[in-house]
C-alpha cells in the first residue's frame, strides 16, 4: 500500500536515536491559518500496534480506536485556539456534495504528491528546479473544486502511527542491557516508535502550503515518547505536528524587514 511505503521511507530516512525529530516545510508565501477559517480534516489515518518480543508489529484495533478518538479531540481543541472551524471527515461518503469517489481521488492524489515531497525534501533527492523555493507542490484544480463545492479554506491530511513495546519486548531489552555486564551489550534492540506526518492544502489555490513530519522513537524498549492511547499523549502529538506552524520564508523576511 502506498501509504505504508511512504511511512517506511520516512522511517528509514530519519535516523533512529532516542529522540523526537521534527522537520517542517512551507510555501514561501505561507501564513499559518488564523482567525475565521474553515478547515477540512480528511480521514486521519491512525494505527497503533504492539511490538512483539520478536519485533513484529501487531495491529491493535482497540488501541487504534482509542488513539483516533484522542487525536480528533486534541485536534479540535488545538484548532479552536487558532479560531478555526473544523470538520473531521471519518468516512468517504460523509462530505455533503462530494462523492466518495471524488474524495478517494483527492486522497490518492495527495498521497502521490506527499510521496514526492518526502522523496525530494526529506530523503535528500533535492530538485535543482525547486531549490530555495520552500514547498512548491500543488494538488491542482481538483483541490480547488473541492474547496468550491464544500466552502472550506484548507484541507488537512494526517497520518499517525504508534508502536508500543510489549512487555516481552521490554524484558528482552532488559536482558540485553543486563548482558552489558558480561560483555554482550544489546539494549538497543528497538522500542516504541511513533511516526506522524501532515500536509495542509490551500483549497483556494490547490497548493500544498505546509508539510510536517514528526518522528519519535527509542532504540531501547520501555522508554516512551507520548502515548497516543492517552489524551495527553495525543495532545502532545497534535502540538508537535501542528502546533508550531512557521510562516513561509518570504513572509518571515518581510516581517523581519518591517521590524527593523
Partner 1 sequence: MCMRCLELSRRSLLVGGGVAAAALTTGTAQARVRPQDMQPLIGPGFKPTDRDEQGLWQLMERAEEEIAGSNLLMNDPALTGYLKNLIGRVGGPAAQDMRIYLAHIPEFNAVMFPSGFTVIFSGLLLRARNEAQLAGVIAHESGHFLRRHMIRSWRDQKRKSDLLAIGSMVAGVGGAGAGVYLGDYVQLAELGAILSLFSYSRGMEAEADAMGTRLIAEAGYPAAEMASVWQQLIGEESASARYRGKRRRRGSLFDSHPSPDSRMADLRASAAEVTIPGRPYDNGRARYLNAIGPIRPMMLDDQVKLNDPGASQYLIQTLAQDGWNGLLRFYEGEIWRLRNRRDDDDRAAQSYAAAVVYPDAPADAFRWHGISLLKQGRSGEAKQAFSRYLVMKPDAPDAPWVRQMMG
Q: What are the residues whose beta carbons fall under 8 Å from the beta carbon of 167, sequence distance 6 or more? A: none
Q: Is 21 helix (H, G, I), strand (E, B) or coil?
A: strand
Q: Is 163 helix (H, G, I), strand (E, B) or coil?
A: strand
Residue 56 binds partner 1, judged by CB under 8 A = yes
Q: Which of 64, 110, 194, 236 binds partner 1 (CB under 8 A)?
A: 64
Q: Is 188 helix (H, G, I), strand (E, B) or coil?
A: coil
Q: Which of 80, 100, 127, 255 binds partner 1 (CB under 8 A)?
A: 100
Q: Which of 32, 73, 76, 92 binds partner 1 (CB under 8 A)?
A: 92
Residue 5 binds partner 1, judged by CB under 8 A = no
Write down the least CB distance from residue 168 to partner 1, Å. Answer: 7
Question: How far is Cα 111 from Cα 192, in angstroms, rounded to an integer?
Answer: 25
Residue 88 binds partner 1, judged by CB under 8 A = no
- Whichever of 8 and 178 has its CB closer to partner 1, that residue is 178
Half-sphere exposure of 100 (CA within 13 A, CB side): 5
Write down the least CB distance from residue 44 to partner 1, Å. Answer: 12
Residue 255 binds partner 1, judged by CB under 8 A = no
Question: How far is Cα 205 from Cα 110, in angstroms, rounded to an integer?
Answer: 14
Residue 47 binds partner 1, judged by CB under 8 A = yes
- Write the burial class of residue 47 (CB in 10 Å: 0-12 exposed, 13-18 middle, 19+ buried): buried
Residue 190 binds partner 1, judged by CB under 8 A = no
* Grid cell listed for 119: 522523496
Can you spell out the DSSP letters for 200-224?
Answer: EEETTT-EEEEEEEEEEE-SSTT--
Write down the least CB distance from residue 127 to partner 1, Å. Answer: 28
Residue 8 binds partner 1, judged by CB under 8 A = no
**Strand 85-89 with 38-51, pairing:** parallel
Residue 45 binds partner 1, judged by CB under 8 A = yes
Query: Residues 138-177 vs partner 1: string with x where CB under 8 A?
Result: ------------------------------x---x--xx-
* Grid cell listed for 16: 533512529
Residue 52 binds partner 1, judged by CB under 8 A = yes
Residue 58 binds partner 1, judged by CB under 8 A = yes
- Within 10 Å of residue 160's Cβ, how many Cβ atoms? 24
**Which residues are at the interface with partner 1 (CB under 8 A)?**
1, 45, 47, 49, 52-56, 58-62, 64, 92, 100-101, 104, 168, 172, 175-176, 178-179, 182-184, 186, 189
Amino acid at each position: 500500500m502506498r501509504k505504508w511505503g511512504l511511512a517506511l521511507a520516512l522511517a528509514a530516512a530519519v535516523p533512529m536515536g532516542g529522540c523526537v525529530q521534527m522537520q517542517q516545510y512551507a510555501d514561501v508565501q505561507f501564513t499559518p491559518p488564523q482567525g475565521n477559517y474553515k478547515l477540512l480534516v480528511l480521514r486521519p489515518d491512525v494505527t497503533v500496534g504492539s511490538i512483539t518480543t520478536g519485533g513484529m508489529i501487531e495491529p491493535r484495533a482497540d488501541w487504534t480506536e482509542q488513539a483516533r478518538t484522542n487525536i480528533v479531540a486534541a485536534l479540535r481543541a488545538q484548532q479552536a485556539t487558532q479560531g478555526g472551524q473544523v470538520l473531521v471527515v471519518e468516512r468517504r461518503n460523509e462530505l455533503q456534495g462530494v462523492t466518495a469517489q471524488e474524495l478517494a481521488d483527492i486522497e490518492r492524489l495527495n498521497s502521490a504528491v506527499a510521496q514526492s515531497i518526502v522523496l525530494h525534501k526529506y530523503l535528500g533527492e533535492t530538485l535543482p528546479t525547486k531549490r530555495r523555493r520552500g514547498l512548491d507542490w500543488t494538488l491542482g484544480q481538483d483541490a480547488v473544486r473541492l474547496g468550491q463545492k464544500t466552502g472550506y479554506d484548507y484541507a488537512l491530511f494526517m497520518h499517525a502511527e504508534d508502536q508500543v513495546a510489549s512487555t516481552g519486548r521490554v524484558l528482552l531489552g532488559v536482558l540485553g542491557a543486563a548482558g552489558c555486564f558480561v560483555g554482550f551489550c544489546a539494549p538497543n534492540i528497538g522500542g516504541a516508535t511513533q511516526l506522524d506526518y501532515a500536509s495542509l492544502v490551500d483549497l483556494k489555490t490547490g497548493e500544498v502550503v505546509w508539510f510536517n513530519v514528526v518522528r519519535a522513537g527509542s532504540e531501547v524498549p520501555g522508554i516512551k515518547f507520548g502515548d497516543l492511547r492517552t489524551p495527553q499523549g495525543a495532545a502532545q502529538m497534535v502540538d508537535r505536528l501542528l502546533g508550531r506552524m512557521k510562516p513561509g520564508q518570504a513572509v518571515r523576511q518581510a516581517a523581519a524587514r518591517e521590524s527593523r
